Amino acid sequence: EDGYALWLRYAAPDAGAAGPSATRVTQLVVAGSPGVPSATREELQRGLAGLQGGAPANGDAVTRAGALLVGTPAASPQIARLGLDLDGLGGEGYRIRSAVVDGHATTVVAANEDIGALYGAFHLLRLLQTGQPLDGLDIREAPRLAVRMLNHWDNLDRYVERGYAGQSIWDWHRLPGWLDPRYTDYARANASIGINGTVLNNVNANADVLTPMYLDKVAAIAGVMRPYGIKVYLSARFSAPMEIGGLDTADPADADVQRWWRTKADEVYALIPDFGGFLVKANSEGQPGPQDYGRSHADGANMLADAVAPHGGIVMWRAFVYSDEEPVDRAKQAYNEFVPLDGTFHDNVLVQVKNGPIDFQPREPFHPLFGGMPKTPLMMEFQITKEYLGFSTHLAYKAPLYEEVLDADTHVQGPGSTVARVIDGSLDGHALTGIAGVANIGSDRNWSGSHFDQANWYAFGRLAWNSDLSSRDIAVEWTRMTFSNDPAVVEPVVGMMMASREAVVDYTGALGLHHVMGRGHHYGPGPWVEGGPRADWTSVYFHRADGNGIGFDRTRRGSDAVSQYAAPVAEVFDDVTRTPEEFLLWFHHVPWSHPMRSGRPLWDELVLRYDRGVETVRGMRETWAGLDGRIDAGRHAQVAAFLAIQQDEAQWWRDASIAYFQSISGRPLPAGVAPPPHPLEHYKALEFPHAPGDTQ
Ligand code: BDP
């Protein structure tokens, strides 16, 4: 076991443990011809062979009890005769039914389109892998969101920005001649969780990817993805018409520029008829964009949207923007720039918004753009890679973070106006909907750099399919498929996962602290970071600690960021007594003595949270040590080693942060709390010039 198989191990039941389902499939009938149905048949054969210790017979029609029948009514007369109601399932939905087919007890996976049948097949394999019985099934599933995609921040030289799992999996040099089998396994894994799109290259884009040489390579990847229902997309560099097109402007109002993009889109679609479209980062962190020509984000997005529209393509325009001028409060910027443009984007544009207003911190309140642009379909952007949560060595299961944001209530149309309902279009009546996760995938054998980081990829896909799933249920599912169905493994592992993200919040800075990490690489603590090119790239800008207190005043008396939320939410965040404590220092500057709900002063509470975080990691490590012998030695050893690293680094975060904040608060540590072993200068002097994933 080296982790390569991900959650698709299809392992036969371990002797003695409560294993996968005892139900046996005796015959496999997958209706349909090459393409998606072949991929479906191969996956079921592979899965059943592993789970049952031998593949069942293949057939064209059900002829015996215990058969599995998969397909569409159009491809299978037996499915058509069942007359199952498939209305409302769309192309990607499916039904799984226990039925009698021509006198034989059969499990039926039926869908309107082949891709729905593939998703249903993966669902069935999940049932078998997690030991569910196959009788009496009546399942109806359809995804809530239309576009469920990964964003790779992969450069063409295979360097992955904020990637901690080796190089890019896209081997541009050997493409298109060599199709690494890993591409197929990547497609299988994504299809198994319902992901239907992938942006191959970094949002900090290189225009070369749009040249004929690279487009041939992109087309080759698209060919591998197609049988798995995955569309390929590219990040487009806004200045590409100048860099590879020989024009002297990229002004979206310029007729030559518009023509260049239309011709480029035609060229792309001639090679890749099902190409998804473009993702764009513009006028942000030095990237070119329409504002360079005095045009708006909408002008830029609409020009590209018009180029791909004749082919059915879409444009995802990112709202993660930075103006050249330093804002009074960086948290307010995207809202200020985008809300005035609401209603001006063309129909095939999605505005892609990060989950919170700053940048993928271990905890942020939901982004105020959700609910703030009712006339524009907004797409969620989560980070799967752990830029701010300890890279790949720290165990942090991110599903609780995703769930917290999706469940957050914007109140824009009264209670129940959750972020999930903003992005699934139900609140404002949008049909074009989507979600993106910044991938944590690389060339490492185990794909994600650590075994537990696979769970974040898995959970992202599951929540993209159905935002109502609970992060705990997803953890259970993943653990059973990835490690074991043995309850003596599942319970402790799920316990570790569910505590892990809060532990990271605690040891990196709880109670609403944010952006307190090392400069540039974002590895380890850096609450002292100040100076440099922009104030809003420093830590002191965000925590604002001084002798009197700490926190960023975003109330009406401060930066007034609270007013970007709907009134009921704004009132809560504006009121120091009502703001949830996990966001206290995000919205308020309070004295060190501020009374907390625990009865302790803020300073004491903060210190105790640092200790609690370290303590949780120590407990996770102990739990994992107790699983020795229940989990294969290779994976057990790597996780154990990583947890040891995490414990050391949690301690480092705790010690350095306490040393720093104590130098400012001047307050004694609460009774019984150990002082940091070194003076502050020691922590400040630690340097990591080569931490992975930093911007090149
Ligand atoms: C930040 C990353 C940076 C990305 C940027 C973005 O530090 O590397 O380019 O976001 O999302 O989180 O564009």
The full 3-state SS of 641-694, as one line of letters, equals HHHHHHHHHHHHHHHHHHHHHHHHHCCCCCCCCCCCCCCHHHHHHCCCCCCCCC
Residue 550: pLDDT over 60: yes
CA atoms within 13 A on the CB side of 112: 12
Retrieve residue 486's tokens. Answer: 């043995």
Q: Please check whether residues 276 and 404 belong to one and the same domain.
A: yes
* pLDDT of 13: 74
Per-residue pLDDT tens digits for 135-155: 999 999 999 999 999 999 999
Query: Is 564 a domain residue?
Result: no
Whether the bond into 357 is cis, omega within 30 of 0: no
Residue nearest to atom 11 of ligand 1 (CA): 320
Distance of CA 162 to the CA centre of its chain: 13
Whichever domain contains 229, its CATH number is 3.20.20.80
Question: Does the beta carbon of 162 lie inside 6 Å of ligand 1?
Answer: yes
Partnered with residue 601 across adjacent β-strands are 595
pLDDT band at 14 (very low <50, low <70, confident <90, very high): low
Q: Please check whether residues 321 and 402 belong to one and the same domain.
A: yes
- Name the residue among 476, 480, 523 with its Cα closest to residue 652: 523
Question: Does the beta carbon of 388 lie inside 6 Å of ligand 1?
Answer: no
Return the C-alpha torsion angle 460, 5, 222, 399, nearest 10. 0
Domain boundary among 469, 497, 526: 469
Residue 403: pLDDT over 90: yes
Question: Which residues are marked as active site?
Answer: 285, 359, 387
Whichever domain contains 643, its CATH number is 3.90.1330.10
* pLDDT of 325: 78
Question: Does the beta carbon of 519 lie inside 6 Å of ligand 1?
Answer: no
- Name the residue among 344, 352, 310, 470 with its Cα closest to residue 406: 470
Distance 284 CA to ligand 1 centre (A): 9
What is the spatial distance between Cα 217 and Cα 328, in angstroms, rounded to a whole number?
44
Whichever domain contains 83, its CATH number is 3.30.379.10
Long-range CB contact pairs, 592-601, < 8 A, 24+: 592/548, 592/549, 592/550, 592/665, 592/667, 594/549, 600/670
Q: Please check whether residues 130 and 165 belong to one and the same domain.
A: no
Question: Does the beta carbon of 444 lie inside 6 Å of ligand 1?
Answer: no
Q: Please check whether residues 96 and 110 belong to one and the same domain.
A: yes
pLDDT: is 611 or 328 the higher one?
A: 611
Query: Is 2 a domain residue?
Result: no
Query: Is 693 a domain residue?
Result: no
Looking at every residue in the chain, the average pLDDT score rounds to 97
Q: What is the DSSP secondary-structure string of 535-569?
A: GGGSHHHHH---SSEE----STTTT-GGGGS-HHH
ipTM score assigned to the predicted complex: 0.98
Query: Is 543 a domain residue?
Result: yes
Q: Please check whether residues 517 and 636 belong to one and the same domain.
A: yes
Whole-angstrom CA distances from 212 to 35, 119, 187, 215, 226 are 26, 34, 24, 5, 20
Query: Is 411 a domain residue?
Result: yes
Domain boundary among 117, 141, 165: 141
Per-residue pLDDT tens digits for 428-452: 999 999 999 999 999 999 999 999 9
Q: What is the DSSP secondary-structure string of 564-607?
A: GS-HHHHHHHH-TTTS-GGGHHHH--EETTPBPTTSSBHHHHHH
Partnered with residue 97 across adjacent β-strands are 108, 138
Question: Does the beta carbon of 359 lie inside 6 Å of ligand 1?
Answer: yes
* pLDDT of 341: 98
Query: Is 422 a domain residue?
Result: yes
Query: Is 120 a domain residue?
Result: yes
Q: Please check whether residues 246 and 310 belong to one and the same domain.
A: yes
Q: Please check whether residues 114 and 167 belong to one and the same domain.
A: no
Residue 661's identity, in one-letter code, is F
Domain boundary among 417, 452, 469: 469
Distance 391 CA to ligand 1 centre (A): 14
Expressed as residue numbers, the domain containing 526 is: 506-552+589-685
Please work out, in degrees rounded to the nearest 5, the angle formed at the alpha carbon of residue 450 by the alpha carbons of 448 and 455.
70
Q: Please check whether residues 535 and 651 belong to one and the same domain.
A: yes
Distance 520 CA to ligand 1 centre (A): 11
* pLDDT of 16: 46
Residue 340: pLDDT over 70: yes
* pLDDT of 22: 62
Per-residue pLDDT tens digits for 229-283: 999 999 999 999 999 999 999 999 999 999 999 999 999 999 999 999 999 999 9
* pLDDT of 299: 98
Q: Please check whether residues 126 and 96 belong to one and the same domain.
A: yes
Per-residue pLDDT tens digits for 464-512: 999 999 999 999 999 999 999 999 999 999 999 999 999 999 999 999 9
Distance 617 CA to ligand 1 centre (A): 27
Alpha helix segments (H runs only) across 327-398: 333-338
Residue 17: pLDDT over 60: no
DSSP 28: E
Q: Please check whether residues 42 and 187 belong to one and the same domain.
A: no
Number of domains in the chain: 3
Per-residue pLDDT tens digits for 41-95: 999 999 999 999 999 999 999 999 999 999 999 999 999 999 999 999 999 999 9
Retrieve residue 96's tokens. Answer: 């799984």
Whole-angstrom CA distances from 496 to 81, 363, 633 are 48, 18, 19
| Contact call for residues 150 and 436 (beta carbons, < 8 A) | yes
Q: Please check whether residues 91 and 66 belong to one and the same domain.
A: yes
Q: Please check whether residues 46 and 100 belong to one and the same domain.
A: yes
Mean pLDDT of 161-189: 98
